[in-house]
Amino acid sequence: MSELSADGVSVAFAGLKALSEVSLQLRSGQILGLIGPNGAGKTTLVNVLTGFQAPTSGAVLLDGASLTGLAAHEVRRRGVARTFQGGRLFRDLPVIDNLEVTGLGLGLSRAAAIREAGEMLDWIGISALADRIAGTLPYTDERRVAIGRALMRAPDFLLLDEPAAGMSPQEARDLSDLIRRIARERGCGVLLIEHNVGLVLGVCDHIVVLDSGAVIETGPPAAIRASERVRHAYMGTAADTGLPVQEALV
């Protein structure tokens, strides 16, 4: 079983600490939630785990080997994939080309990239979108295409940064089903970074809570619901949970 971990990761920008000695472990097939109020450091941690941001101190490890200092594309080639809050699709290309380009960049031949791209769209259930120009897609379909692109070449770990932002309750439930399939059928470890606390509590095996760049709580969903520290962290915030935070944690 593979493991991706942050070991005492700190990040400082101009002397201001965005992360302070954060540690977490994500295993193959696990769905791990990462939540916290706005500005807690969630995206910064994802950037560190995927090579987009170098830590000031601490290390990122994959099966005990350091990934610290590797460029983002090198981290991706080692099996750690991610999505972005804004989708970041190639908006002028058809959907299938978005996936094909990723396959080519990861070392597939043209024929193999085309084949895997088609198979991935089928697996997610969006093969009807293959020839659509990515920039014309509705928001929800754009997120699903971004997930399909990230899953090219079967990464061991997938980090999803706010995939449910702006989704309706039904769309969020469909996303939950897809995340479960990714972990169960593909054996992929999933780190879910979300403001939708209800979604995280419903789909994750284990949850890490950040506040002001530090871990304030970890545990299964029941422990997070019962945590006074988590309630206190969210009080007075305007986090988009789909439910009031107090209700989501009940």
Q: Looking at this protein, which amino acid is placed at residue 180?
A: R
Q: How far apart are the C-alpha atoms of 224 and 247, rounded to whole Å?
A: 13
Q: Look at residue 242 in the predicted model and tell me its pLDDT.
A: 44
Segment 118-162, tens digit of pLDDT: 999 999 999 999 999 999 999 889 999 999 999 999 999 999 999
On average, the pLDDT of the chain sits at: 92
Question: Is residue 133 within 8 Å of residue 93, measured between CB atoms?
Answer: yes
**Residue 213 pLDDT exceeds 70:** yes
**Residue 7 pLDDT exceeds 90:** yes
Question: Is residue 42 within 8 Å of residue 210, measured between CB atoms?
Answer: yes
In the structure encoding, which two tokens stand for residue 163, read together?
Answer: 């995939």
**Residue 86 pLDDT exceeds 50:** yes
What is the arithmetic mean of pLDDT over 194-199?
92
User: Could you tell me whether strands 80-82 and 206-211 are parallel, antiparallel, or unpaired per DSSP bridges?
Assistant: unpaired
DSSP one-letter code for 21: E
243 falls in which pLDDT band (50, 70, 90)?
very low
**Residue 55 pLDDT exceeds 60:** yes
Q: What is the pTM of this model?
A: 0.91
CA distances (Å), origin 154, targets 21, 46, 103, 147: 30, 19, 10, 12
**Residue 87 pLDDT exceeds 80:** no
Question: Is residue 57 within 8 Å of residue 22, measured between CB atoms?
Answer: no
Of 222, 220, 192, nearest in space to 206 by CA:
220
83 falls in which pLDDT band (50, 70, 90)?
very high
Q: How far apart are the C-alpha atoms of 36 and 23, rounded to whole Å?
A: 15
**Residue 107 pLDDT exceeds 70:** yes
**Residue 241 pLDDT exceeds 50:** no
Classified by CATH at the fold level, domain 3-89+156-248 comes out as Rossmann fold (3.40.50)
What is the arithmetic mean of pLDDT over 178-182?
98
CA distances (Å), origin 157, targets 124, 204, 223: 17, 15, 25
Domain boundaries, the chain: 3-89+156-248, 90-136
What is the arithmetic mean of pLDDT over 99-113?
97
Q: Look at residue 249 in the predicted model and tell me its pLDDT.
A: 65
In the structure encoding, which two tokens stand for residue 114, read together?
Answer: 């085309």
Q: How far apart are the C-alpha atoms of 151 and 117, rounded to whole Å?
A: 10
DSSP one-letter code for 69: T
**Residue 88 pLDDT exceeds 90:** no
Segment 34-43, tens digit of pLDDT: 999 989 999 9
